[in-house]
Amino acid sequence: MNPTVSYKDQSTLTSDHNWKGDYQIWLPLLLASWALAIVFQDRFVSDWDGFDYAAYAIANVPTALGLGRALFLAYNHLIWEMAHRWLDLPPEQSYLVLRYGVIVMSGPAIVGVYALYKELTASRLAACCGTLMVVFSPLFIIYSGRGMSEIPGFLMLGWSLWWMIRSLRLNQTGGYFAAVALFGLSANLREFAPFYLPIVPLAAIIYGISWKRWLPATIFAVLAMLAGAVFWSLYGPEYYIPAVRNWLQLSALESEKNPVTLGNLRFMVEYGFRCSAAAFVIAPFALIEGCRQFLKNSPLRVLFLLGFLGLTADLALSRTHYLSYSPRYLLTGLIGLAAISGWFLAELITRYRGWKAAVPAAIAIGLTVANLITFYPYFHKDVLAAQVAREYLAKITDLPDEAVFIVGAHTPLVNFYCKSGARKFWKVIPAGAGWPDDKLDQVIDAYLAEGIPVYVDFDENLWNPGSINSREAAGLQMIKRVYQLDLVRSPSLYRISRPG
């Protein structure tokens, strides 16, 4: 397959990498992304990390996750301060700051993806096909309307890659280093960039750049990635370092509980399809053809490199226990896989004539439609979960300002109200790694001795349904056996007290 022929058939020169004049393409894509984000936006907070992000943004502290996501939380803190002071937004609604910010960013993120793909392929059709795979990715749609870090990460990664590759093509050293800095800093929004780090030196080598430029640029990118973590280690060590240490310990425990097995490949296949069925199905063929172009020293070598790094990113994540929690982790590889899959789809469309040209397009459209239809039940499940969380919050908001809760899956909800300042003196006895096991009665007694009320919710849906032999199940049975329980909210929320 000769990409040059198909591009000429599109009356597009291989040197035409400009995206700005293609507003008839990227403007509808931008508007479509905004519309989908608004329609499918979160009804409350479906991802528990969203509660933590909102609380951290209010407190102006980093998360212990990843590299700290300092840039993501810093700009959200500034927006929160403005919304709180000028619009009287209460702490318990701080999650709206993050959500609406992400919705706004979703459109420019899509334009950045189109600009990147046009730079890589010099083809309107290839750039459009790849960008459509991102626009209609169910996971991209869902997270375009949630107060999470994925879409801001996409925004900065896409534009920095576009600037980097454009600067290399035009031999602009200053632009290359500036783009590399933004590329590295994007890891402080979401840790996509580390998976694509090899593109910094390898793309430069492909464009004939001396090691005297790409080596310091690569070091510069790594330092930029670590900037947030280094900043908080120096200026907030009393908070950040213990938090990271605790996160690493909890991660080790979770790894033991959820060991990586061949079953993770099932997650990769299932979640890869959920992320983008079209990219998932087309990518293997696209990578094979891209490899042929790479070996022929084609101008598409950087495109193949980006697609290959997208694949290796997903493969790397499949070897961690995090993938079992959520399909959103495979958004990491999407920007690379959609790029090369969109190019290959465009190649197939332009290779054939007449009705045959419509076949690959019809297959891609059919996969996308099936993708969206099959994903809807998962979206609906999240809507119900958000509704349940909102209803649960209404059930406990009139309880004392100082209280302790044993509420299983709703632990992040209570933590959010505490950390955001809405209920500063609420505490939790957490499920999972922080569960005190045979010391549970001692923890409860210590709070009761201080006169702090302790509440427990026996709703089985909050405690790993079906796991009757779990650590938490033994503790709940002990509470029923040892303590006096007074019903507070029907049917399952009780206040704990000592008998007599």
pLDDT 10s digits, 356-403: 888 999 999 999 999 999 888 888 888 888 888 888 888 898 899 999
pLDDT at 338 over 90: yes
Average pLDDT for residues 460-480, to the nearest whole number? 76
- Listed range (58-72, 187-201, 228-242, 243-257) with the worst mean pLDDT: 243-257
Q: Which residues contact 500 (CB under 8 A, 6 or more apart)?
A: 484
Amino acid at 499: P
Answer with the one of 382, 416, 435 that is the final residue of a domain: 382
Which pLDDT does position 500 carry in this prediction? 66
Tokens of 7: 């591009």
Please state which of the ranges 103-117, 249-263, 304-318, 411-425 shows the lowest mean pLDDT. Answer: 249-263
Higher pLDDT: 419 or 228? It is 228
Domain assignment present for 449: yes
Cis status of the peptide bond prior to 491, with omega within 30 of 0: yes
Q: Are residues 356 and 229 in the same domain?
A: yes
Range of the domain at 437: 397-497
Q: Check whether residue 345 and residue 309 sit in a common domain.
A: yes
Please report whether residue 130 resides in a domain. yes
Q: Which residue has the higher pLDDT, 175 or 323?
A: 175
Domain termination site, one of 382, 417, 433? 382
Residue 95's nearest CA partner among 432, 493, 407, 393 is 393
Enumerate residues 6+ apart whose C-beta is below 8 A from 137.
275, 276, 279, 331, 334, 338
Q: Are 185 and 71 contacting, i.e. CB atoms less than 8 angstroms apart?
A: yes
281, burial (CB in 10 Å: exposed 0-12, middle 13-18, buried 19+): middle
118 and 210 share a domain?
Answer: yes
Cα–Cα distance, 237 to 256 (Å, whole number): 28
Strand 454-457 with 493-497, pairing? antiparallel
How far CA 194 is from CA of 200, 232, 306, 371, 373, in Å, comes to: 11, 19, 13, 28, 33
Confirm whether 195 is domain-assigned: yes
The per-residue DSSP string of 394-433 comes to HHHTTS-SEEEEE-GGGHHHHHHHHHTTTTTEEEE--SGG
The model's pTM: 0.90
Q: Using alpha carbons only, give the angle 129, 135, 141 rounded to the nearest 5 degrees.
A: 155
Residue 170 near residue 52 (C-beta atoms within 8 A): no
Mean pLDDT of all residues belonging to the chain: 89
pLDDT at position 255 is 73
Q: Is residue 389 part of a domain?
A: no
Average confidence (pLDDT) over 329-345: 95
Say what the pLDDT of residue 464 is: 66
pLDDT tens profile 4-33: 334 343 334 445 889 999 999 999 999 999
| Residue 236 and residue 356 in one domain | yes
In this structure, the answer to whether residues 410 and 489 fall within a common structural domain is yes
Judge whether 125 lies within some domain.
yes
Residue 413: the pLDDT is 87
* Final residue belonging to a domain, choices 382, 406, 434: 382
Indicate whether 369 and 430 sit together in one domain: no
Neighbouring C-alpha atoms within 13 Å toward the C-beta of 60: 8
**Pair 375, 414 in one domain:** no
Instruction: Specify the pLDDT at position 17.
Output: 87
Are both 481 and 375 inside the same structural domain?
no
Residue 488 lies in a domain: yes
Answer yes or no: do 320 and 452 share one domain.
no
- Return the closest-CA partner of residue 360 out of 344, 373, 338: 344
* Residue 69 is assigned to a structural domain of this protein: yes
The 3-state DSSP class for residue 148 equals: coil
Please tell me whether residue 488 adopts helix, strand or coil conformation. Answer: strand
Distances (CA, A) of 323 to 328, 405, 481: 8, 29, 38
Assess if residue 388 is contained within a domain. Answer: no
Residues 30 and 162 placed together within one structural domain of the fold: yes
| Mean pLDDT for the stretch of residues 140-166 | 96
- Greater confidence (462 vs 230) lies with 230
Q: How many domains does the chain have?
A: 2
DSSP-assigned letter for residue 457: E
CB 123 within 8 A of CB 12: yes
Q: Is 152 found in the same domain as 245? A: yes
pLDDT at 489 over 90: no
Distances in Å between the Cα of 34 and the Cα atoms of 266, 471, 497 are: 32, 44, 51
Is residue 2 scored above 50 in pLDDT? Answer: no
What is the Cα–Cα distance from 417 to 431, expressed in whole angstroms? 17
- Side-chain-side CA neighbours of 298 within 13 Å: the count stands at 23
Q: How far is CA 386 from the centre of its chain?
A: 18
Q: What pLDDT digit, counting tens, does each position of 156-175 carry?
A: 999 999 999 999 999 999 99
Looking at the fold, whether 360 and 489 belong to one and the same domain comes out as no
Instruction: Show Cβ contacts of residue 11 under 8 Å, excluding neighbours closer than 6 positions.
Output: none
Determine the distance from the C-alpha atom of residue 403 to the mean position of all C-alpha atoms in its chain, rounded to a whole number. Answer: 33
